[in-house]
Chain A
Amino acid sequence: MTYMGQRFIKTWLKDWWEIFCHELRQIFSDGGVLLIFLVAGLAYPLLYNVVYLNGVLSDTPIAVVDDAACPDSRRFIREIDATREVEVVARCVNMAEAEKLMRERKVRGIVYFPRDFGEKLARMETAKLSVYADMSSFLYYKNALMATNFVMLHEIGQIQMERYSLAGMTEQEASQVVKPLGYEDNNPYNRAFNYSFFLISAILMIIIQQTLFYGMSLLVGTQRERNHSFASLPDKLEGHGMVRVVLGRGGAYWLLYLGIGMYIAFIVPAIFGIPQRGQFGDILAMLIFFITDCVFFSMTWSTLITRRESVFLLFLAMSPICLFLTGCSWPTVAFPGFWKVFSYIFPSTFGVQGYINLSTAGGDISAAGTQMRAMILQTIIYFGAACACIFAENWVIRHKEEIRERREALARKAGIDKAEDARIISGE
């Protein structure tokens, strides 16, 4: 290697180290940033786990109106009551009474047996019962529907056996006709459709991305307010050396978030019993890709933040939107085309899916292959974008006066009198 090359590497490393240390000092000397990184990053995952601790809604209260009052309807009611999903808390004499209970929100559903329920069964016709569900939360509806459907399927089997034996079949024959095709259903990753397993896994990854973005934006805004810039390069470089600024600053956040990320991805689920079925090495590899991606993502987008506080005003509402865009509640196949493309902007779209596939479902590394490739691509693009942002920022710094004049001219054109405004606002 030539002497020049060695010198270049030496200064490069020295610059990098300086920027890296400077950024770490910045982070740890700013209370607001620490509040976001440490309180939000460390405590929020715990809080959300407590909120969604029991993700299964059991024993939804329902009312029963039994106009049939026959042995069949009574047996049906007993069986509904015995399911995990619902609990019969009221037996009403008529629908009006049950409706009143539902409006008072003492019950979340009504099961109604019409007068002819028993008669129809005796006449070997189809007997109908009605289920009314409160749709204010879909989990009430799901519970009412699942409980009555399970009991119905069970009852149908029994009644059919009776009817077929009446028609002159032996028990063996009847059972073969009743159930010519059996089924076995498995829900291997989430046996009881637990609400918290998928939501917590998603929220954990979103917390990593969002806290990193908010914290970094706070710092960028602060430095701009103090008339420094996040992009201030060593002056001797005269606008070169964007890569070492990006890598130096990025390295500081990366190191910090490797710790926070491992806490969120490994320790928090262990505390609360969220399934961790994956291989440690696989998940760690995915996590490192995700965090690297998040760092460059945040560096790119935080360039938009000109004042310290503006990040919350502008981007806090993006957090629930990111959650939707991961596709773990509303399925990706049902995304409208535009929003599907839009979701590729965020590392969380792939990070959440990767984490769920690897850690919660326990797939091997290939189960997150698509997501890893997408994150690598994102990292490359955002790295380039972050460099470009530093370049643009430097340009802006060098042309500050010009830009200020332009803006004032624009304000004059729009009829805004800055001096008058200043007098009214701050009395100067």
Chain B
Amino acid sequence: MNNWQRILSVARRELRIIRNRPLYFMGSIGVIAFCAIFYLTFLDKGLPDNIPIGIVDEDYSSTSRNFCQQLDATQLGKVVHYDSYAAAREDMTSGKIAAVCVIPEGMNEDIQASRQPKITFYVNGLYFVNGALAWKDLLTMVNLTNGAVQRQVLRARGYNDARIMGMIRPIDIDTHQIGNVTTNYNYYLSGVLLPGTLEMIIILVLIYSLGAELKFGTSRHLMNTSGHSIVTALAGKLLVWTLVFAAIGFVIIMLLYHWLHFPLAGSIFNMFIAMFLLVISSEAVAIFILEMLPVPRLALSIGALYSVLGLSLSGFTLPLEAMPPYIQGLAAAFPLRHYYLFHVQEVVFGAGFAGWWKEVIWMLVFLFVPLTGLIRLKNAYIHQNYPKE
């Protein structure tokens, strides 16, 4: 038997193992399918709407009623009326409404008499997206109400509408959201969360697959099949798993950027490259963890702690520069971080090779890491001298 045939026979053996233990199928394809369905349907709306905003209307005039109706008519807000501030505040604290807006008694009269009344609003910033959007909506409404009153005053003074616009709004801002025109949370989060979940799956499944040889005591037979070469043994196993994970990864990329039409400034083929690099670098991390700790149960626990942390440290929600410096350095040790930077260059800016070549090098560096422990793993496979569980 030459080496290629040995690799193939290890791969055939791996396929038998997968068929024998449904856990492999459930843990890879089952989990990613569930997560894809979850994230993509959960965030399907893109941006929340009809956020409940409590209003305590102590004025009850035409102006305040108009204010409430306008607020209710915005896409973001939905008005809930309260009789007292205390009741509204209690509901805000318990998270039922995102904000409370108090319209003072006599507001209408005070506006007519130019006594400059004040609307007060309170936002619950602990329900984050909810609070921030309600705050934005209320601020917009107050400014619009101001504009409407000014327009009435100026019309009474005999200005024409063109001049009035210049008076009311001397400066305007024209916002361009690069890479996500509609502020869509689905594009923003799913584009990184799904590859992140895949990284988690790769690390766990591969550690389990390599560790199971020790756990069930089949590692010596594996070494026999591979002609006592740890490289051949790993090559055979990785042949199967790389094909499986790369296929899952490519389906994710197709799903996001082709079938669901997520915005993509660059080319989908470059995203295939990014995904393939994420797959092989995550595999390298998994092998490394098991090499250093050839005790399946401990290696899996470490892999779990590592891969959950990877989601935070990729820096796609809270940017890395807001984290402490020593954590920023640590982030480079996670393949997902480099995938995210690649993703930004390709998906947001369409920068191409010039933008992401550094990330490619980073992810390729991960491939050298498991080489350091090959001998250790080989000894563990042959001597089986670590605790089995």
Is the pair B170, A141 in contact by a Cβ cutoff of 8 Å? no
Task: Name the interface residues of B30-48: CB closer than 8 Å to any CB of A.
Answer: 30-31, 34-35, 38, 41-45, 48
Q: Give Cα A308 to B117, complex, Å.
A: 66
The answer to whether the Cβ of B228 comes within 8 Å of any Cβ in the partner chain is: no
Contact of B130 (CB < 8 Å), options: A102, A123, A314, A331? A331
Is the pair A185, B139 in contact by a Cβ cutoff of 8 Å? yes
Task: Name the interface residues of B1-22: CB closer than 8 Å to any CB of A.
Answer: 12-13, 16-17, 19-20
Produce 1/0 per residue, B207-238, CB < 8 A to A: 01001000111101100100000000000000
The answer to whether the Cβ of A126 comes within 8 Å of any Cβ in the partner chain is: yes
Is the pair B313, A51 in contact by a Cβ cutoff of 8 Å? yes
Is the pair A183, B121 in contact by a Cβ cutoff of 8 Å? yes
The answer to whether the Cβ of B312 comes within 8 Å of any Cβ in the partner chain is: yes
The answer to whether the Cβ of A357 comes within 8 Å of any Cβ in the partner chain is: yes
The answer to whether the Cβ of A119 comes within 8 Å of any Cβ in the partner chain is: no
- Classify the interface of chain A: helix, strand, loop or mixed: helix
Is the pair B116, A126 in contact by a Cβ cutoff of 8 Å? no
**CB-CB nearest in chain A for B221:** A427
The answer to whether the Cβ of A71 comes within 8 Å of any Cβ in the partner chain is: no
Contact of B169 (CB < 8 Å), options: A156, A313, A317, A333? A156
Produce 1/0 per residue, B112-126, CB < 8 A to A: 001011111111111
Contact of B119 (CB < 8 Å), options: A140, A181, A222, A416? A181
Q: How many A-B residue pairs have CB under 8 A?
A: 364
| Inter-chain contacts of B118 with A (CB < 8 A) | 181-184
The answer to whether the Cβ of B243 comes within 8 Å of any Cβ in the partner chain is: no
Residue picked from B135, B142, B318, most chain A C-beta under 10 Å? B318
- Classify the interface of chain B: helix, strand, loop or mixed: helix
**CB-CB nearest in chain A for B114:** A176
For chain A, the count of residues having a C-beta within 8 Å of the partner chain is 128
Measured CB to CB, the closest approach of chain A to B115, in angstroms, equals 8
Contact of B125 (CB < 8 Å), options: A132, A187, A314? A187
Contact of B349 (CB < 8 Å), options: A103, A189, A332, A335? A103
Known: A57-B322, A135-B180, A182-B119. A163 touches B174 (CB 8 A): no
| Inter-chain contacts of A189 with B (CB < 8 A) | 124-126
Is the pair A333, B170 in contact by a Cβ cutoff of 8 Å? no
Known: A103-B349, A135-B188, A183-B118. A426 touches B149 (CB 8 A): no
The answer to whether the Cβ of A130 comes within 8 Å of any Cβ in the partner chain is: yes
The answer to whether the Cβ of B160 comes within 8 Å of any Cβ in the partner chain is: no
The answer to whether the Cβ of B163 comes within 8 Å of any Cβ in the partner chain is: yes
Known: A128-B173, A331-B129. A336 touches B297 (CB 8 A): no
Contact of A138 (CB < 8 Å), options: B119, B183, B196, B309? B183
Is the pair B93, A361 in contact by a Cβ cutoff of 8 Å? yes
| Inter-chain contacts of A128 with B (CB < 8 A) | 171-174
Is the pair A131, B174 in contact by a Cβ cutoff of 8 Å? yes
Is the pair A309, B300 in contact by a Cβ cutoff of 8 Å? yes
| Inter-chain contacts of B300 with A (CB < 8 A) | 309, 312
The answer to whether the Cβ of B242 comes within 8 Å of any Cβ in the partner chain is: no
Contact of B135 (CB < 8 Å), options: A48, A187, A360? A187
Chain B residues with CB under 8 Å of chain A are 12-13, 16-17, 19-20, 23, 26-27, 30-31, 34-35, 38, 41-45, 48-52, 90, 93-95, 98, 107, 111, 114, 116-132, 135, 138-139, 142-143, 145-146, 149-150, 153-154, 157, 163, 165-180, 183, 185, 188, 193, 196-197, 200-201, 204-205, 208, 211, 215-218, 220-221, 224, 296-298, 300-301, 303-305, 307-309, 311-313, 315-319, 321-324, 327, 344-345, 348-349, 351, 355, 389
* 22 pairs from A and B in contact (CB 8 Å cutoff): A35-B301, A36-B301, A47-B309, A54-B323, A55-B318, A123-B166, A124-B170, A132-B178, A135-B177, A149-B173, A178-B150, A182-B118, A188-B122, A197-B125, A197-B126, A201-B126, A327-B95, A333-B50, A361-B93, A367-B94, A421-B20, A427-B221
A-B contacts besides A121-B170, A124-B167, A135-B178, 6 pairs, CB < 8 Å: A135-B188, A142-B132, A160-B170, A186-B122, A196-B318, A329-B129
